[in-house]
Structure 1
Amino acid sequence: MNAPSLTVGYVPGVTPAKWARNWSQRHPQIPLQLRTVAAADAAAAVRDGAVDAAVLRLPADTTGLAVIPLYEETTVAVVPADHVLTAADEITVADLDGEPRLLPRDDVVDWADAPGAPVDHRPETTGDAVELVATGVGMLIVPQSLARLYHRKDVTYRPIADAPPCPVALAVPEGPQPALVEDFIGIVRGRRPASSRGQTPPPPKRTAREKTLAKQAARAAAGKVARKPGRSRGR
């Protein structure tokens, strides 16, 4: 019989280390295996059973999955380190109007009318696109965590104040969840161990006075039983 374990997939940029630490504190005997999955494959990995759950970005094809929203990431523009836009701490959509924009094939930003003029060449990955940003080919729009993941000295990024955020969610198979999956859901939602779903809370502790009153009541009840007349044993 295999020892119990939990496998959680996560897309690039997401940092599940905090959840893994909390898991190890609550379940030191049950390993939590973290597996990086491509954004396009994360939902399918849950459906196929390759992972028990996955932290992914929306939108995604989540057919057959239960989706638990976690948080929203800031959308940023990645530009060369010496770009004129770096003069401000925050930019707007209008600032990017007409800027050449790189659109990698693994793009995860759901923004149909995103600013910028798309460059004809589409790099295969976001990492490839960041390299092209460094050469001045164009700018790149990504969630902030991906800008941090692919950071390099010759590029930087600026938050886009009026851009839509990039939502992140936890996906699990639809239906009742195994206990370990429920525990992980509780961790990512910030529930304390004592508040896990389905757990019966312990009864409140009685005060010293309540204990004394309970003992007195028990003695009184015992005395009534002792004084109750019974059948005579004989004449």
Structure 2
Amino acid sequence: MTGSEAPSSFRLAYVPGVTPTKWVRVWGERLPDVPLTLTAVGAAEAAGALRGGDADAGLLRLPVDKAELNAIPLYTETTVVIVPKDHVVTAVDEVALEDLADEIVLHPLDDTLEWGSLPGRPAFERPATTADAVELVAAGIGVLIVPQSLARLHHRRDLTYRPVTGAPESRVALAWPQAEETGDLVEEFIGIVRGRTVNSSRGIAATPAQPKGGRAEAGAAGRKPAAGASGGKAGGRSGAKPAAKGTAKGARKAVGGRPSGKGAQGGSGGAKRGKPRRGR
């Protein structure tokens, strides 16, 4: 999709746990006439939604297929373990992965973490979703290791969580389909998530360049160009401040201060030597 073919709205997909609120707010400030449509998608379906054209860009979890999608990593989440509030884990500020070796660690089918080998003891069956696994934790069946944002998303009063050291981490990225040219609206959103200002943005909200004969040239027309200004870097420097001549004020400017010593009183530059003698 080229810039000239940009749609009248921007469609942004996002996976559970990701909160695009601050970026959506900036979008509304910069492009109030271009609606931004949010679409919630499952972590496993996010890449397919972009490939199929259901969204222009998406906030999803890495990895992605780089042959089909571009991706900009945004941040890495803390990994936590969800446990009942009366669990022994709650006595510490964080827990090591090996400390969960005797626990039943639930592994839902939509798990967003990439495990080399699963920690703890496996459950009899895998829950279908993270939400189902949270329900099992509340029932005392086991514990669940997830990115912190998912622990917050599935918050319950009878559950809590603690950071886990040594566990895989989840990286959140902005992704969009591969194309010969990135559309203006996608470029605009890339600029927003990267923190670009309006004037530094590459998208349609950027300030257009001054046309020829505009303000910059009009201002320059009323000033006499310095000698040597067109002669490159060295010429511009030598002609920036022409030397003052013919006055004491100019002399002080030329040497950077007030003239002093012999040159001030008795030099050959036309300075006064004293009171003139009256004729007899």
The TM tier, using the shorter chain, reads: 0.7 to 0.9
Find the counterpart in structure 2 of residue 232 from structure 1: none
Q: Aligned-pair distance for 1:22? A: 0.4
Q: Is the 8 A contact 1:91 1:158 kept in 2?
A: yes
Of 180, 186, 193 in structure 2, the residue corresponding to residue 181 of structure 1 is 186
| 8 Å CA contact 2:27, 2:189 repeated in 1 | yes
State the partner residue of 1:196.
201
2:263 is aligned to: none
What's the offset of the Cα at 1:194? 1.0
Q: For 1:100-150, what per-residue CA distance to the aligned partner results, in whole angstroms no more than 9, with x for missing partners? A: 011111111112224211112211110010010011100111100000000
Which one of the candidate residues 121, 134, 138 is aligned to 1:134?
138
Cα offset for 1:98? 2.0
- Work out the CA distance in 2 between the residues paired with 1:202 and 1:182: 18
Are 2:81 and 1:73 aligned?
Answer: no
What percent of counterpart residues are identical?
Answer: 55
Aligned partners of 1:68 and 1:171 also within 8 Å: yes
CA distance in 1, matches of 2:125, 2:45: 23
Counterpart among 224, 227, 251 of residue 216 in structure 1: 224
Q: CA shift at 1:62, angstroms? A: 4.9
1:90 aligns with 2:94: yes
**1:123-182 CA-partner distances (Å, limit 9, x unpaired):** 111001001001110011110000000010111111112223211111101131110110
Give the superposed CA RMSD: 2.5
Paired with 2:110 and 2:172, the residues of 1 have a C-alpha distance of 16
The one-letter code matched in structure 2 to 1:185 is: I
Residue of 152, 171, 175 corresponding to 1:171: 175
Task: Decide whether aligned partners of structure 1 residues 61 and 217 sit closer, same or farther in structure 2, where only a CA change above 3 A counts.
Answer: closer
1:55 is aligned with what amino acid?
Answer: L
Q: TM-score, normalised by structure 2?
A: 0.70
- Distance in 2 separating the partners of 1:95 and 1:15: 31
Q: Distance in 1 between matches of 2:97 and 2:53?
A: 40
How is 1:2-151 mapped onto 2 (pairs within 5 angstroms)?
4-151=8-155
Instruction: Give 1:59 shift.
Output: 2.4
CA distance 1:54–1:76, shift in 2 (3 Å)? same
**Structure with the greater alpha carbon radius of gyration:** 2
**TM-score normalised over the length of structure 1:** 0.83
Rounded to whole Å, the distance in 2 between the matches of 1:149 and 1:130 is 11
Between the aligned partners of 1:157 and 1:30, the Cα distance in structure 2 is 40
2:171 is paired with a residue whose SS is strand
DSSP 3-state at the match of 2:182: coil
The answer on whether the counterparts of 1:43 and 1:62 sit within 8 Å (CA) in structure 2 is: no
Q: Secondary structure at the match of 1:193?
A: coil
Q: Which amino acid aligns with 1:93?
A: L
Q: Alpha-carbon deviations, 1:191-223, whole Å to 9, x = none?
A: 1111113768868x98xxxx69952349xxxxx
5+ residue gaps, structure 2: 1-5, 227-280
Query: Which stretch has the larger CA shift, 143-152 or 53-62?
Result: 53-62
Cα distance between partner residues in 2 of 1:63 and 1:102:
33
Partner SS, residue 141 of structure 1: strand
Q: Report the equivalent of 1:228.
A: none
Matching residue's letter, 1:152: R
Q: How many residues align?
A: 213
Q: 2:278 corresponds to which residue? A: none
Q: Greater relative contact order (Cα 8 A, min sep 6): structure 1 or 2?
A: 1
The 1-side partners of 2:120 and 2:137 are apart by 14
Give the match for residue 222 of structure 1: none
Deviation at 1:184, TM superposition (A): 0.5
Corresponding residue number in structure 2 for 1:152: 156
Residue 57 to residue 3, structure 1, CA distance change in 2 (3 Å): closer
